[in-house]
Structure 1
C-alpha cells in the first residue's frame, strides 16, 4: 500500500495503517519539514474547512488523541495551553463545540485549554512512529495515480491533488506568519474575521511566538511580503503591546489546501485497484488529522 503525501494527513493515515499490520510506504514530493504542515501555527480548532457536520466528528476524534499525546510534550510536540478566541460565540458554532472540554464564554469571546502542536517535532515523531511500525518514507514525486504500483493508493497530496487527480476544486489559501522572540506570552490568542483576508493570532511555541496571519485565496506566492509581515506584527501588538518590540526570528508562508468540502472517499482505479482520497482540509488539517486518518484507513480496508 502506498500513501501519497508526507504532510500531517499522509503521515497520520500511514501510521494507522501500519499499526494495523499493513505494509505501508509513504511517497512524498518533499520531506515533512518542507510541507505546509510544518509551517502551520499548530492550534487545534476547526478553521476554513467544510462540511461542518463531518468536520466536528473528525476534529473531536483528533482532540482526544492530542489530549493523550500532550502527556508527553517533549516527545510528541503536543501541549495543552489556555487561550481566547476573541469574538467567537458558542451559538455560532456547530454541535461539536459543546463537546470540547472547558470551552466557555468569556467577556470578549470563548476561552479554552486546547492542544497546541509544535509541528516540526510532531512530524518527526509521526515519521519515527511509522518506521517503528514497519512503514517507510521515500522522497518521490507522483504525477499519475494510475501509475502508482499498489493495489490500494491513499491520496493525501493536499494542494498537490489539484494537478494529481486532477481536481481543480482544490485551491491555495495563502497564510503568512512571523516568528518573534517570545516576550513572555504564555497563552494563545485569535481574532478572526472570516470575511477578511487578514486576522490576528499568536501562538507560543518552543521556537518562538508565532504571529499571524493571512488567508489570501488563490495566491500561490511562497515569498514573505514585508508589508504584510509588518501589518501582522501591528495587529498582534494591538492585543499584546509587548509584541511590538519583539525581535523577529523568521518569516513563514504556507498554502492551505482549500476545497468546498474535504474529499474523503474510496474510488476505483484501472486494473481492479483502489484509491482512497483524503485531501482538501483547508486551514484545519492538523485539527482533523486523526479523525480523517481513521476514516481513510477504514476505507482502505473496509473489512478490517
Structure 2
C-alpha cells in the first residue's frame, strides 16, 4: 500500500523516536508529537538489552534479534551511547538458562568463582549496554538530520491529530488511553546514579517478580544501580528510602558502591501489558492507525524490531 502525506508519531520515548527514525529513513514524511521529547521514562532507563518478562515470545524473539543487530552496529560509534559489555546475571539458587540465551553466541554458565557470595548459579554473556540520555539525544539528532519535525503537545485523543494520513500510537503509558485499551498498567521503576568506583562489567540478579531489583550498569564515569518494580504505581517522585535500599542491595555485590557519591535518582513508569501490541487499526474517519506499545521494561530491547515491523505494516 502506498503511503502519501505526513505520518504522525504520538510519543517521544525510545519506542516513538525509534519508530520515527525507521519510518523517516524508509522515505516517509514524519512528525513526532509528544508532551516531552525525549520521554522521561526512557531517559530514566538503565538500560541493558534483554527481553525480560515480555510476551509473546514468538514475536519478542524476532524483535529482540533485530534490535541486537542494530545495537551491535551502533556500538562502534561512542557518540551513540551504546557499548557491548560483558557481565553476569545470577540468582540466589540454581537458575535455568532463559529462553533468550540462544540468541547470544558467548552465553555460558558461570564457574563458582565468578559468582558473588550468596549466589547459587548464573551466566556470563555480552550484550549492548545503553546510556539512555546520550542514546536518546543521538536518536533525536538522527531524526532531525533526516528531515523529521517535532511538536510538543499533550495528546489526549487521536482525534486531535488533524494533519496526518497515518498515525502511529507509541505513547507508552498513555497509549492505552489513546487506544481505549485498559490492559496497559504502570510499573514504577527507580534507579540510582552514582560515581563509578571502577566497575567495568554489568551485574544483574534474576529476582523474578520481586519489586526489589538488583542491577549494576557501568557507563564510564557513572554507574546506574537498580532498582524497583512496583506494579500499579505511577508516582515519579523520588523515594529516599528506596534509594538507600537500592545502594545497600548493590553494595552486597560490590562493596565499593556503599560509599560511591550519589549523583541522581531516575524514576519512570514502565508501560506494561500482557502482550506487546504492534498492529494496524483505524480511526472512525478512516485515517489509518498503527499501535506500538506495551513493552514494559523491554522497550529498548524491542525498539528496533518493533519499529521495523511498523514500517512493514505502514508500507506493506
TM-score interval (norm. to shorter): over 0.9
Is 1:68 aligned to residue 73 of structure 2?
yes
Match for residue 166 of structure 2?
152
- 8 Å contact from structure 2 (residues 214, 226) kept in 1: yes
Task: Give the structure-2-normalised TM-score.
Answer: 0.91
1:137 to 150, 160, 172: 150
* 2:290 paired with 1:265: no
Give the CA deviation at 1:83.
0.7
Deviations 1:83-136 (A, max 9, x none): 101129885422x42121211111331111110111111111111111122111
Change (3 A) 1:179 1:227: same
Q: 1:31 aligns to what?
A: 37
What residue in structure 1 maps to residue 270 of structure 2? 256
SS of the residue aligned with 1:261? Answer: strand
Size of the alignment, in residue pairs? 299
Task: Identify the residue that residue 103 of structure 1 maps to in structure 2.
Answer: 107
For 2:85, the equivalent position in structure 1 comes to: 81
Rounded to whole Å, the distance in 1 between the matches of 2:240 and 2:141 is 36
Conservation of the 8 A alpha-carbon contact between 2:196 and 2:220:
no
SS at match of 2:183: coil
Q: Is the 8 A contact 1:118 1:206 kept in 2?
A: no
SS at structure 2 position matched to 1:101: coil
Cα displacement string for residues 129-156 of structure 1 (whole angstroms, at most 9, x for unaligned residues): 1112211122112111123121210000
Q: Distance in 2 between matches of 1:38 and 1:245?
A: 25
Inter-partner Cα distance in structure 2 for 1:165 and 1:178: 33
Matched, 1:194 2:193: no
Contact 1:43 1:116 survives alignment (8 Å): yes
Match of 2:26? Answer: 20
Structure 1: runs of 5+ lacking an equivalent: none
State the alpha-carbon separation in 2 of the partners of residues 208 and 232 from structure 1: 15
Other structure's SS at 1:21 match: coil
Q: Which runs of 5+ in 2 are unaligned?
A: 1-6, 112-120
Does the 8 Å contact 1:269/1:275 carry over to 2?
yes
CA distance in 2, matches of 1:234, 1:165: 41
Distance, in Å, in 2 between the alignment partners of 1:207 and 1:4 is 34
Question: Match for 2:224 among 210, 224, 234?
Answer: 210
TM-score by length of 1: 0.95
